[in-house]
Amino acid sequence: MDTGYLNSLIDRSTKVIPGGINSSIRKFPGHITARAEGAYFWDQNGKRYVDYLGAYGPVVLGYGCKPVREKTKQAIDKYDLYGMGSSEPEILLAEKVCALMGLDELLLCSGGSEASYHALRAARAYTGRKKIIKMEGAFHGWHDYVLINGSTTPPDMLGKEYQTSAGMLSDATKHTINCRINDLESVRARCKEFEGDVAAIIIDPYCTSLGTMRMDDGFVTGLRQICDEQGIVFIFDEIVTGFRIGLGGATARFEAKPDLVCLGKAIANGFPVAAVGGKRKFMETYTTSANGRTNFQATYYGHPVLAAAALATVEELERPGVFEHIDRIGDMLANGFNDINNRLGLDYHCNNCGSMMGFYFGKGPYKNFDQLVTTVDQKLSCDFRTKMNERGHYFAVGPYMRIVTSYAHTEADIAETLQVMEEVLKELKK
């Protein structure tokens, strides 16, 4: 496509789209993504970037994955949006996901925020209670129930209510309780304080809004015990981890199992598919069931073409050797970052779970958000990412933003990135 035309789109976009972008996390001044393929994307000037953003997680197989693309094309020719009943791709996808993750039932929606909203609503409907518990620093979506005390919370607001957006209703946020990650006693104390009124505890077991910070096994087991003792619904937010860290997601990596699971992102390799699934007694509360009272409806939920894209993605991930490559490439980048820092005498380090990782510009290990926000060099982290981007290796700019690789990344890509990374770290060390 003509370079001049693409450059003109930058000015044109700001005249008809607020800020020129349709999601606030896509800010990259002066940039139009012209195309993407495999592990790379190109800007309007033809500059190639090795991509470690993956559209914030969905692109687990690489851009334009041929098997997914071909099966989606076939679905476009065969299916359309229907206003009644179900279609074959919806049913086949639900069967496969339930089997792989040990779920009884599954419902499809369009985005992760919708999935967490529906899960929390079902928990409230089932228990008849109002309060929910989340962890400080965690992100579970854009709705008022959970958009408080996320990763942008300043140090002076730790332990207090910090609303992340204007226009939020305090009547909603007052029912959300924030607790410290890996601090079981803080959760016990709040559950005792609001005994009989806590509907749900929702966690992202790998704290992906803070990079990758795996919760302790004992902490997750303790949360499961609290939920069992007090009749609280236990929810895993696997929007990022589901089908990225394995076919069973985080659910397969912990002995303690959730009641409901939220899925999205990697389940469809970039197509807008999300889901909420779990135990039948909770799933049957939705109005899709004969006696359900919890509303679950939207025009585009379970779109056959999107369901086919997700089914094709999961089938590709099931192929022998795919996850082995995905994990090996992720380990190579994470271990390479740590090796460079050790050689340079720096305290920075990386945590990873296969293709998902966090780079921390501070001395860890980190177990909760308040340790991060008070000790990580946030400016240094952003400077590092900006310099890597300038050199054609794209990382989301932010102090804790997660980094991802994909099946399309090669060892040569990682070696190139590590070489540039060492140059940048030496430059920042001066």
pLDDT tens for residues 186-237? 999 999 999 999 999 999 999 999 999 999 999 999 999 999 999 999 999 9
Please tell me the predicted confidence (pLDDT) of residue 7: 80
Please tell me the predicted confidence (pLDDT) of residue 79: 93
What Cα–Cα distance (Å) separates residue 164 from each residue in 167, 168, 203, 209, 247?
Answer: 10, 8, 18, 14, 32
Which stretch of DSSP H or E encloses residue 13?
helix 3-16
Asked whether 59 and 268 are in contact (CB, 8 A), the reply is no
φ/ψ region of 72 (left if φ > 0, alpha if ψ in -120 to 50, else beta) reads: alpha
What's the average model confidence in pLDDT over 247-255? 97
Question: If we measure between CA atoms, which residue out of 85, 77, 89, 138 comes closest to residue 112?
Answer: 138
- Backbone angles phi and psi of 42, in degrees to 5: -125, 140
CA distance 246 to 237: 15
What Cα–Cα distance (Å) separates residue 7 from each residue in 29, 44, 390?
Answer: 12, 6, 18
Which stretch of DSSP H or E encloses residue 422?
helix 411-429
Set out the domains of the chain in order of their start, with CATH numbers: 3-64+320-429 (3.90.1150.10), 66-318 (3.40.640.10)
What pairs with residue 210 in β-bridges? none
> pLDDT tens for residues 211-223?
999 999 999 999 9
CA distance 285 to 277: 12
Please tell me the predicted confidence (pLDDT) of residue 393: 97
Asked whether 122 and 131 are in contact (CB, 8 A), the reply is no
The CA-CA-CA angle for residues 62, 304, 271, to 5°, reads 25
What's the average model confidence in pLDDT over 158-183? 90
CA distance 361 to 370: 15
Give the count of beta carbons closer than 10 Å to the beta carbon of residue 154.
8
For the chain, the first-to-last Cα distance in angstroms comes to 41
Question: If we measure between CA atoms, which residue out of 411, 385, 209, 237 comes closest to residue 326?
Answer: 411
One-letter amino acid for residue 406 of the chain: S
CA distance 424 to 334: 16
Give the confidence band of 32 by pLDDT, cuts at 50, 70, 90.
confident
Please tell me the predicted confidence (pLDDT) of residue 322: 98
pLDDT for 63 beyond 80 = yes
What pairs with residue 234 in β-bridges? 201
**Residues contacting residue 175 through CB under 8 Å, at least 6 positions apart:** 130, 131, 132, 145
Average pLDDT, rounded, for the chain = 94
Question: If we measure between CA atoms, which residue out of 113, 97, 68 comes closest to residue 242?
Answer: 97
pLDDT for 153 beyond 90 = no
Token output for 1: 């496509």
Higher pLDDT, 391 or 164: 391
SS3 421: helix
> pLDDT tens for residues 88-147?
999 999 999 999 999 999 999 999 999 999 999 999 999 999 999 999 999 999 999 999
Please tell me the predicted confidence (pLDDT) of residue 8: 86
SS3 200: strand
Question: If we measure between CA atoms, which residue out of 395, 356, 401, 344 comes closest to residue 378?
Answer: 401
Which stretch of DSSP H or E encloses residue 108?
strand 105-109
Asked whether 111 and 289 are in contact (CB, 8 A), the reply is no
Binning the chain into helix, strand and coil, the percentages to the nearest 5 are 45, 15, 40
Please tell me the predicted confidence (pLDDT) of residue 168: 87
Please tell me the predicted confidence (pLDDT) of residue 1: 64
Give the DSSP letter string of 365-387: ---SHHHHHHHS-HHHHHHHHHH
Please tell me the predicted confidence (pLDDT) of residue 340: 97
Please tell me the predicted confidence (pLDDT) of residue 4: 82
